[in-house]
Amino acid sequence: MILPAQSENPASLAHLDLEHEIPRLKREMNAVILAHYYQESEIQDLADFVGDSLQLSQQAAATKADVIVFAGVLFMAETAKILNPGKLVLLPDLKAGCSLADGCPADRFAEFRRRYPDSVSITYINCSAEVKALSDIICTSSNAEKIIRQIPPEKHILFAPDQHLGRYLMKKTGREMTLWPGSCIVHEMFSEKSLVQLKERHPRALVLAHPECPEAVLRHADYVGSTTGILKYAVASPAAEFIVATESGILHQMEKACPKKTFIPAPGEGGCSCSECPHMKLNTMEKLYLCMRDRRPEITLDETLRQRALKPILRMLEMS
């Protein structure tokens, strides 16, 4: 069960200096703010740690703070709670979901598992706590390949819920897997045709892509990896120009780390720059402040469910 936020008109906070108030509340509460790269820039700049899904769950597992404020989406905050049952875990907007998690309901996933009884199920962390509890091992885009390579070759693998990441991993590892047919609404929007046209206009630019992109887009990528992988690649590369095929929030850290390099968001159909995750962007500075001030909305989980969901997450952390 998840407790809802108190409703308050964000305009009534206009007199507050949130860049000062949020750190003040953080000190008072002994809180840590964990933010994903897809959060708006102001939130990233206030966070104690900004990272990809694996790093954020590692930070959540290691924190000594009493309160975890998760500037991300629901599956990320749930993972933090699964790892920290005794801590208060807050999410600024409970409606911050994920199309991958929404497209893989637990009852249908249970049926999927029943159809392949002798398989091992590796499930992308972008899923609900209920689906985690039905999985053998959780993975993220940065450790999935490493985890798959540790599965004995005779074992059949079920991979859910992102078909594009699954297909990319099959190619990378040479392992056959049965894929759940889910996808991310943001990465699915990138258009191969518009990308090719953009590359013609920027012939020296390297294409950096998240593995949630469709195969037709990944085909043009010079580098494929998690958000942290993309950022590290851009920092280390001698190239000066990059086309970035993932949610545009990552550009903030890329531009901070490499102020002399140029980053161009990959285009969608018709050339639109529509690479914003509507779920991630539900979190705002005002909602971040309110959730800390009011200590809600809080993530709570049934203890039996939490213990079942914990096992495949711990396996992931061991195998990473």
Closest CA to 67 of 44, 96, 90: 90
Residue 184 found at the interface with ligand SF4 (CB under 6 A): yes
Closest CA to 35 of 26, 45, 25: 45
Q: Which does 309 bind (CB under 5 to 8 A by kind): ligand 13P, ligand SF4, none?
A: none
Q: Which does 99 bind (CB under 5 to 8 A by kind): ligand SF4, ligand 13P, none?
A: ligand SF4
Residue 99 found at the interface with ligand SF4 (CB under 6 A): yes
Q: Give Cβ neighbours of residue 303 (< 8 Å, ≥ 6 apart).
A: 85
* Whether the Cβ atoms of residue 48 and residue 68 lie closer than 8 Å to each other: no
Q: Please identify which residue in 2, 185, 305, 314 interacts with ligand SF4, judged by CB under 6 A.
A: 185
The interaxial angle of helices 18-29 and 285-294, nearest 10 deg, is 30
282 to 73, 97, 230, 241, 276: CA distances (angstroms): 9, 9, 24, 30, 11
Minimal distance, residue 140 CB to ligand 13P, in Å: 5
Q: Which does 185 bind (CB under 5 to 8 A by kind): ligand 13P, ligand SF4, none?
A: ligand SF4
Minimal distance, residue 286 CB to ligand 13P, in Å: 23
Residues 124-153 that bind ligand SF4 (CB under 6 A): 126
Is the Cβ of residue 194 or residue 227 nearer to ligand 13P in the bound state?
227
Q: How many residues sit in the footprint of ligand SF4 (CB under 6 A)?
A: 13
Q: Please identify which residue in 247, 266, 291, 306 interacts with ligand SF4, judged by CB under 6 A.
A: 247
Residues 59-78 that bind ligand SF4 (CB under 6 A): 73
Q: Tell me the window of 61-69, 147-155, 178-186, 260-268 that interacts with ligand SF4 (CB under 6 A).
A: 178-186
Burial tier of 167 (Cβ tally within 10 Å: 0-12, 13-18, 19+): middle
Is the Cβ of residue 188 or residue 192 nearer to ligand SF4 in the bound state?
188
Q: By CB under 6 A, name the binding residues for ligand 13P.
A: 52-53, 126, 140-141, 184, 210, 212, 226-227
Is the Cβ of residue 26 or residue 279 nearer to ligand SF4 in the bound state?
279
The dihedral formed by the CA atoms of 52, 53, 58 and 60, expressed in degrees to the nearest 10: 110
Minimal distance, residue 36 CB to ligand SF4, in Å: 8
Alpha-carbon distance 48 to 37, whole Å? Answer: 13
Minimal distance, residue 248 CB to ligand SF4, in Å: 10
Residue length of the chain: 320
- Please name the residue that has the structure tokens 């085909």: 219
Q: Please identify which residue in 25, 177, 186, 288 interacts with ligand SF4, judged by CB under 6 A.
A: 186
Minimal distance, residue 102 CB to ligand SF4, in Å: 8
Is the Cβ of residue 25 or residue 109 nearer to ligand SF4 in the bound state?
109
Alpha-carbon distance 241 to 260, whole Å? Answer: 9
* Whether the Cβ atoms of residue 83 and residue 310 lie closer than 8 Å to each other: yes
The dihedral formed by the CA atoms of 183, 280, 45 and 78, expressed in degrees to the nearest 10: -90
Per CB under 6 A, residues contacting ligand SF4 are 73, 98-100, 126, 184-186, 212, 247, 277, 279-280
